[in-house]
Amino acid sequence: MAERVAFIGLGVMGGPIAGHLARAGHQVTVYNRTASKAARWVEQYGGSTAQTPAAAAAGAVAVFVCVGNDDDVRAVTTAPTGALAEMRRGAVLVDHTTTSATLARELAAAGRARGVGFVDAPVSGGQPGAEQGTLTVMCGGEPDDYARAEPLLRCYARMVKRLGPAGSGQLAKMVNQICIAGLVEGLAEALHFAKQAGLDPADVIEVISKGAAQSWQMENRHRQMLEGRYDFGFAVDWMRKDLGILLDEARRNGAHLPVTALVDQFYAEVQALGGGRWDTSSLMARLEALKKTRSGRRS
């Protein structure tokens, strides 16, 4: 059934996600902080643009948000010209931004006060997942709100699941990022060791990638790590944002994350090397840079 929906934030993730909604036949009104981007999106996919998030949200059964961080989300939702000002009762607000769980609970409460549902719905799968419509969506919210959002999420997701009340989607995304931090550092240290030991690291990966050391990161990142190529993927600046949020959450819930906290500091060193826009696998670049510094001292 074609629905009237609004989409706020047409970046590398939001743009293609909104495109899938339009292609599925929904009537999409878009808003983007840089208006020219919204105009270009409408040229490509149809639909219409609005001057404010509130204007985009008026009359929509679902409003999607996909922006940068907690403050960006507030600016397009609870601010005076934000979506909540114009959302009708019974509509649902879906936030694809990776934010704190605290913000998700805040938005759920703000929605509830206006008779509007809320689902926090951070994604994984990156830009290729957004473009191909194969994202994973981790959801938090009331079962009724989730049930209304789910058929729309299926337009661009391979895996959609509700994990609990508002905030649960964000917390699940944090679990994902914690896995990745330790895993990528382990892989980087392993490849760095292989090079220092004089092995052919690609041969070694061929042998060990069938067993207990196997990972998606090993399969999909080892080549670029060995080439020192990081101009793609999920940027270190964004990873540091996510790690900041989750370390803060861990301080509240009492989880002990020694390696995750250490890897966050390593990513700060990657940023210092100029790698803020590099893929998260660039932890390898940090280890290799240390090597260069040592060689430099010797000569």
Residues with a catalytic annotation lie at 173
Residue pair 2/25 in contact (Cβ under 8 Å)? The answer is yes
**20: buried, middle or exposed (CB in 10 Å: 19+, 13-18, 0-12)?**
buried
119 token code pair: 């689902």
Residue 202 CB partners (closer than 8 Å, separation 6+): 222, 223, 226
In the complex with a second copy, the residue whose CB is nearer, 46 or 164, is: 164
Distance in Å, CB of 49 to a second copy, minimum? 32
What residues between 18 and 77 interact with a second copy by CB under 8 A?
none
Interacting positions 128-187 with a second copy (CB under 8 A)? 136, 138, 158-159, 161, 163-164, 168, 171-172, 174-183, 185-187
The DSSP line for 257-289 is: -HHHHHHHHHHHHHHHTT-TTSBGGGHHHHHHH
- d(C-alpha 108, C-alpha 253), whole Å: 20
What does DSSP say about strands 123-124 and 135-141: parallel, antiparallel, or unpaired? antiparallel
> Are 70 and 89 in contact, with CB atoms under 8 Å apart?
no
Q: Select the span of 22-30, 52-60, 236-244, 251-259 touching a second copy (CB under 8 A).
A: 251-259
| Residue from 52, 98, 260, 282 in contact with a second copy (CB under 8 A) | 260
Shortest distance (Å) from residue 143 CB to a second copy: 14
- Is residue 296 near a second copy by the rule CB under 8 A? no
**Alpha carbon distance 95, 173 (integer Å):** 13
Count residues binding a second copy (CB under 8 A): 73
Q: Which of 200, 223, 228, 272 binds a second copy (CB under 8 A)?
A: 200
Residues 107-126: x where in contact with a second copy by CB under 8 A, - otherwise, as a string? -----------------xxx
Q: How far is the CB of 127 from a second copy (least distance, A)?
A: 12
Nearer to a second copy, 6 or 160 (CB): 160
Taking the C-alpha atoms of residue 270 and residue 267, their distance in angstroms, rounded to an integer, is 5
For the segment 208-247, give every residue that binds a second copy (CB under 8 A): 208, 210-218, 220, 234, 246
Q: At its nearest, how many Å lie between a second copy and the CB of residue 293?
A: 10
Task: Give the helix/strand (H/E) hosting 95.
Answer: strand 92-95
Q: Which of 198, 227, 274, 299 binds a second copy (CB under 8 A)?
A: 198
What's the min distance (Å) between Cβ of 37 and a second copy? 27
8 A C-beta contact, residue 278 and residue 185: no
The nearer residue to a second copy, 142 or 185, going by C-beta atoms, is 185
**Shortest separation between residue 228's beta carbon and a second copy, angstroms:** 16
